[in-house]
């Protein structure tokens, strides 16, 4: 038994016992989901290993949630192979769900019950005794910093608190795998950081996380490895650093012009950087040395309103792969 964190009675199997270390917790080949004639997930392959934080990055409608729901054992696989925790998703749904912790995209808390009661009753769904469920509920409330609100009715909590309670609820069965669907969408920046902090701690304890997001900063902070999804397919796979190295340059120089000017630049920026992306509101110049690019732009007599040199992000990777931005 390792990684038994204070305030979280969270039993973790070490890497050598339990299942073999080679067996991925999620194994998908040709995984497909169709609704009638609409293909939501189109023959994707991926593996999620024990102990890693694995991300599905992509815009809304890319097929992330459908993939997540199939992994979660609540949505039938149309075609292909999907093994979760060594079990076949098609036949072992309830047994798989018994060992998952699920954080759905929209909160599904019982607003009429208290914070603690929400955890208690959820523990019962996993077959825990009331006393055991209560013990875990208290530990988890401590973990998500909601102990002081434990007797409040859920309806009275802020959005960020509800998210944290949902995370605590997802941990009540001491899951082998956490599924998080857009864990911080709709939260204000401070609440997002609180949620990220808790997820980061889970990750440090070795909990396997699979999460979807359309925020590149979330993916960069939390994911060891990720796939970029677009239009039901996986278009790239790797660690955030690998993907940036492969599909973007080290730095980006962003130019913003007063309205109407950008359209008149015809050819003036040609060759100033390795690659140029023209967005409606700005121009992105990709090169390893962003400062040198901004000097070169100035030398050509181009006068943008603002110049920003920054490091490349997954947003740039996505733009390169699909020609579109993540949040439109």
Partner 1 sequence: MIAINPAGTLRVFEHRLLEYKRVWRGTLFNSFLTPVLFLASMGIGLGGYVDASGSNVLGGVRYIEFLGPGLLAATAMQAGTFEATFPILAGFIWDRMFHAMYATPISPRDMAIGCIAWIAFRLTLITTVFTVVLVAFGAVRSPLIVLAIPVSILTGLSFSTFVAAFSATQRQMTKFNYIFRFLIQPLFLFSGTFFPIEQLPAFLQPVAWLTPIYHGVALARGLALGTAFENPAIFVVHAVVLVAFVVVGMWLVVRLFERRLVV
| Contact status: 92 vs partner 1 (CB under 8 A) | no
The token pair at 272 is: 């100033």
Least distance between partner 1 and beta carbon 33 (Å): 10
Diameter of the chain measured on Cα atoms: 74
The token pair at 279 is: 């967005």
**Which positions from 21 to 40 touch partner 1 by CB under 8 A, shown as an x/- string?**
--------------x-----
| Contact status: 91 vs partner 1 (CB under 8 A) | no
| Contact status: 100 vs partner 1 (CB under 8 A) | yes
How many residues interact with partner 1 (rule CB under 8 A)?
Answer: 30
Among positions 266-325, residues that touch partner 1 (CB under 8 A) are none
| Contact status: 77 vs partner 1 (CB under 8 A) | no
Closest C-alpha to 309, from 322, 320, 318, 296 = 296
| Contact status: 226 vs partner 1 (CB under 8 A) | no
**Which positions from 142 to 181 touch partner 1 by CB under 8 A, shown as an x/- string?**
---------------------------x---x--------
CA 127 to chain centre: 29
Question: Half-sphere exposure of residue 144, counting CA atoms within 13 Å on the CB side?
Answer: 28
Could you give the CA distance from residue 106 to residue 104 in angstroms, rounded to a whole number? 6
Alpha-carbon dihedral angle through residues 166, 61, 78, 99, given to the nearest 10 degrees? -20
Could you give the CA distance from residue 220 to residue 208 in angstroms, rounded to a whole number? 16
Among positions 110-129, residues that touch partner 1 (CB under 8 A) are 110-113, 117, 120-122, 124-127
- Binding residues for partner 1 (CB under 8 A): 35, 72, 74-76, 94-95, 97-98, 100, 102, 104, 106-113, 117, 120-122, 124-127, 169, 173
């Amino acid at each position: 038994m390792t990684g038994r964190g204070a305030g979280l009675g969270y039993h973790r199997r070490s890497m050598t016992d339990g299942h073999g270390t080679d067996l991925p917790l999620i194994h998908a080949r040709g995984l497909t989901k169709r609704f009638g004639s609409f293909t939501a997930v189109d023959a994707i392959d991926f593996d999620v290993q024990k102990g890693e934080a694995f991300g599905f990055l992509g815009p809304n409608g890319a097929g992330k949630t459908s993939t997540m729901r199939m992994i979660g054992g609540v949505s039938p696989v149309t075609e292909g192979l999907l093994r979760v925790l060594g079990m076949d998703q098609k036949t072992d749904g309830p047994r798989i769900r018994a060992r998952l912790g699920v954080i759905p995209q929209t909160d599904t808390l019982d607003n009429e019950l208290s914070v603690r009661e929400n955890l208690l009753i959820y523990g019962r769904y996993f077959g825990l005794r009331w006393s055991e469920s209560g013990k875990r509920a208290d530990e988890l409330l401590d973990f998500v910093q909601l102990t002081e609100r434990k007797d409040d009715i859920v309806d009275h909590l802020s959005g960020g608190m509800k998210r944290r309670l949902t995370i605590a609820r997802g941990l009540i069965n001491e899951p082998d795998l956490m599924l998080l669907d857009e864990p911080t969408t709709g939260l204000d920046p401070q609440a997002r950081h609180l949620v990220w902090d808790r997820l980061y701690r889970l990750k440090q304890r070795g909990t396997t996380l699979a999460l979807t997001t359309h925020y590149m900063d979330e993916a960069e902070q939390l994911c060891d490895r990720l796939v970029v999804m677009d239009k039901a397919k996986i278009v790239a796979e790797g660690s955030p650093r690998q993907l940036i190295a492969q599909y973007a340059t080290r730095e980006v120089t962003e130019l913003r012009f007063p309205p109407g000017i950008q359209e008149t630049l015809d050819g003036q920026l040609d060759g100033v950087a390795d690659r140029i992306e023209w967005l409606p509101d700005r121009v992105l110049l990709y090169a390893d040395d962003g400062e040198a690019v901004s000097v070169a732009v100035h030398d050509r007599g181009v006068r943008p309103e603002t110049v920003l040199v920054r490091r490349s992000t997954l947003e740039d990777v996505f733009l390169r792969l699909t020609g579109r931005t993540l949040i439109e």
